[in-house]
A and B are shown apart, each in its own frame.
Chain A
Amino acid sequence: MNKYLSQNYAFRKASDRANYSSEKKLSDYLKNPNLHFVFFAIAMCVVAYLSVTKVLPYSLQTGLAITFSYAISSIGFCLLMGYSGLASLGTGGFIGIGTYAVYYIMGESGLSLGIAVLVSLGVAILIGIIVGFISLRIEGIYLVILTLGLSEILRNLYMVIEDSISVSSIKIFGMTLRRQDSMYLIVIVLSLIMIVTNNLINSPTGRAMLAMKNSTAAAQAMGISLIKYRLMAFVICTAYSSLTGVMLMVCIRTAMASNGTGFYALITSLNILAAVIIGGFKSIWGAVFGTYIMYGIQTTLLNQIPFFQKNPEIITFISGGLVIIVVMFYPGGLAQLLTELKGKLKGLKARIKEGIYGKDLG
């Protein structure tokens, strides 16, 4: 009964809007998701400014910069897993494409960051195409392990070429980017990525990917080219990961391939996977929030508490437990939790209305 009532409300609201408001109200414009991403970018730039001027703790901007760098590849993974139904553990290796592009193009050749980004995207697209072709033959858990193997190839390659890399100064549009200002650039890139991905998801491409996820056979029967969309999904995921590498290089500036917990290690790929799962693998905001839990919460929030500052291992311990609990009890992730809460809130509102005005018999 309750559910029926709330549905009825929703229906009437929609029909009211159709009847009476041909002109859009301000609140309708505010509902545009692209605007949310822009607001997010502005808010985070303010946080970065406050953090650099030391109104807020200085560690905040470093933690958030790292989080948002990784969030780019989480969003790519979200598209790959939530919308195309493919999984990969190659993130770590693909991040290396970006870091090495920055190292060779900027550190060695002294060119601008834009060129490094273009080169890394070019290489990433090439590798994405290769993985996409592999994914046509091999599926499921086997594909996951295969991409893991590919990532290990890349990591070993990096170790052989140049184990430890660093850049001293980042130039962009002729200006030198100071290290503490890197968060501005990262936030702008992240919000652009969010806007692009959101539009992609809601376009025919996104729907084709969803169809492919739910049933490859049915999707093919409807005329969706499997090869085109799988390649596309992997290319986007790899490109985003390489962009993460570029951004990490912008904010951290050193990387080491033989480090067992470094950028290219298996643990990075697993962390990104976990971030997407915790956040809810179909939600862009969820992916960003999940990344924050995996990468940012320790430096930005918990280190302010003396207990956690003394025992940093406990945070790793708790985050592991959190991952397990989310997977077992909330398979849709935190995004699902939020939707459920919203639904409950709506039900509560309807019940309160019912209490005040009496039952709606209309």
Chain B
Amino acid sequence: MAYFLNQIFGSITPMCVTALVTMAITLIFKTSFTTNFAQGVISAFGSYVTAAILTQKGVPMWLALILGMLSSMAFAVVIDVVIFRRGRYVNALGKQIITMGLISIIVGAIPLIFGISVPVIPKFIEGSYQFTAGGKDVIITKNTILSMVVTAIVIAVIFILLRFSKWGLSVRATASNEYIAGMMGINTHIVTAVSWGLAGALGALAAVLNASSGTTIGIYFMTNYQVYAFLAGILGGFATFYGPVIAALFIPLANNLIQYIVNVLGMPELTGWSMVIVYALALIIIFFKPQGIFGKKIARKV
């Protein structure tokens, strides 16, 4: 029981990070109609900025986080305004390649700006709660709880805004048909730019949460989560906003649960295979439900 709970608590931070990155990728997918391969490195950029601010001045952590998010946000908005606004009639594959070009630009720029030293982000709060279950200790760090609360609040606010605000309405209109939304008087340029900015900020938040849980920061350290997010996107179905986010929660959870099951069944040598099993399961589900679990089937003219 204690082992089970530890596995669950251990997967909370990855769940939060994946959910935030997925939200960012879904926002960009719905408004710019492309899968943003650069999301991982844009997020990493935010965490680099946060770490740089933390080392150079004695600023509080929350301020550094906000500044990091703002810098990532500004960066993403610049990307949209300078590149995607001009290239909006490039075909789908071309847009993907543009985001791929962005990866190279950022990967080249980060060592130029921040040098080659590995930055460090400490925990937001030290300490942990401990209780016993079935005679064994269960540990949950305060940092994990903080990550969970922050993520829950951020994602809840975004969903509420999407559902009830005027901005949310214009995002949904742009997502369903950009051209007609423009004709109806919605400034789709601003909608797209705000989506990119939001995605950049969410990515930076995810990266900082990930780094503060003990992961080493590197240029590619968010790429794994980006891949999870893509998978979550098609697993949940890009047709809705909530589908991918729900699917995103399940991927890290399933990973840790499979590790638990494998160990309980007495096959600890299979622990390394957990991610393979998760991917395989996801692909099987997608194979039988190509539109995703929450997706709608879209009829198409021949």
Please, which residues of chain B bring their CB within 8 A of the CB of A261? Answer: 220
CB distance from B276 to the nearest CB of A (A): 5
* Known contacts A274-B97, A320-B103; A328 and B86 CB within 8 A of each other: yes
- In the bound complex, what is the Cα–Cα distance between A356 and B189 (angstroms)? 54
**What separation, in Å, do the CA atoms of A265 and B234 have in the docked complex?**
20
In the assembled complex, A319 has its CB within 8 A of some CB on chain B? yes
Main SS at interface, chain A: helix
Tell me the minimal C-beta distance from A9 to chain B in angstroms.
35
Contact with A along B269-299 (1 / 0, CB 8 A): 0001101100110110011001000000000
Q: A137-B290, A323-B100, A328-B86 in contact; A318/B108 too (CB < 8 A)?
A: yes
Q: Which of A152, A311, A320, A327 contacts B104 (CB 8 A)?
A: A320
A156-B276, A160-B272, A331-B94 known; A149-B83 Cβ under 8 A: no
Q: Using an 8 Å CB-CB cutoff, how does the interface string of B77-112 with A read, 1 for contact, 0 for none?
A: 000000100110011111011101111111111011
User: Hey, which chain B residues are within 8 Å of A318, CB to CB?
Assistant: 108
Name the distance in Å between B287's Cβ and chain A's nearest Cβ.
6
A39 part of interface (Cβ distance < 8 Å) = no
> B35: which of A141, A217, A273 is its contact (CB, 8 Å)?
A141
B227 interfacial by beta-carbon distance below 8 Å: yes
Taken together as a complex, chains A and B put the C-alpha atoms of A137 and B297 apart, in Å, by: 13
Q: Would B107 and A160 count as touching, CB distance under 8 A?
A: no
Taking a contact as CB atoms under 8 Å apart, the answer to whether B287 and A134 are in contact is yes
Q: Given the complex of chains A and B, what is the CA–CA distance between A54 and B106 in angstroms?
A: 36
Interface residues in A211-242 (C-beta closer than 8 Å to B) = 217
Residue contact B234 to A142, C-beta cutoff 8 Å: yes
Known A142-B234, A149-B231; judge A277-B112 contact (CB<8 A): no
* Range class of the B interface residue count: 35 or more
Determine if B48 is an interface residue (Cβ-Cβ < 8 Å).
no
Residues of A near B101 (CB, < 8 A) are 274, 320-324, 327
Residues from chain A with a CB closer than 8 A to the CB of B282 are 149
Closest partner residue, chain A, to B29 (CB atom): A141
Q: Is the CB of A153 within 8 A of B87?
A: no
Select from chain A the residue with minimum beta-carbon distance to B273: A160
State A315–B276 Cα separation when bound (angstroms). Answer: 35
Q: How far is the CA of A137 from the CA of B103 in the complex (A)?
A: 30
Interface size on A, residues (CB 8 A): 46
Using known A-B contacts A144-B96, A270-B37, A317-B108, determine if residue A324 contacts B283 with beta carbons closer than 8 Å.
no
Specify which of A152, A160, A270, A328 is in contact with B83 (CB 8 Å cutoff): A328
Task: Say how far B226's CB is from chain A's closest CB, in angstroms.
Answer: 8
Could you tell me if A87 and B290 are in contact, using CB atoms closer than 8 angstroms?
A: no
Kindly state whether residue B168 has any CB partner on chain A within 8 Å.
Answer: no
Q: Does B218 contact A (CB under 8 A)?
A: yes
Which residue of chain A is the closest to B232 with respect to CB atoms?
A145
Residues of B within 8 A of A141 (CB): 35, 92, 96
Cα of A142 to Cα of B101 in the assembled complex, Å? 21
B100 touches A270 (CB 8 A): yes
Are A273 and B112 interface neighbours, CB within 8 A?
no
Cβ contact within 8 Å between B227 and A324: no
Residues of B within 8 A of A157 (CB): 276
> By the criterion CB–CB under 8 Å, are A260 and B283 in contact?
no
Contacting residue for B283 out of A146, A323, A328, CB 8 A: A146
Distance from B232 Cβ to chain A, minimum over Cβ atoms (Å): 10
Q: Tell yes or no: B233 within 8 A of A by CB.
A: yes
A188 lies within 8 A of chain B by Cβ: no
Name 11 extra pairs, CB < 8 A, besides A152-B227, A320-B106: A137-B287, A138-B287, A144-B35, A149-B286, A313-B108, A316-B104, A318-B108, A320-B103, A320-B108, A323-B104, A331-B94
A-B contact pairs, 23 of them (CB 8 A): A81-B93, A137-B287, A138-B290, A148-B231, A152-B279, A156-B279, A260-B218, A261-B220, A265-B220, A265-B223, A266-B227, A277-B94, A313-B108, A316-B108, A317-B109, A319-B108, A320-B102, A320-B106, A321-B105, A324-B101, A324-B102, A328-B90, A328-B98
Which 8 residue pairs are nearest across A and B when measured between Cβ atoms?
A320-B104, A317-B108, A323-B101, A316-B108, A320-B105, A324-B101, A260-B220, A160-B272
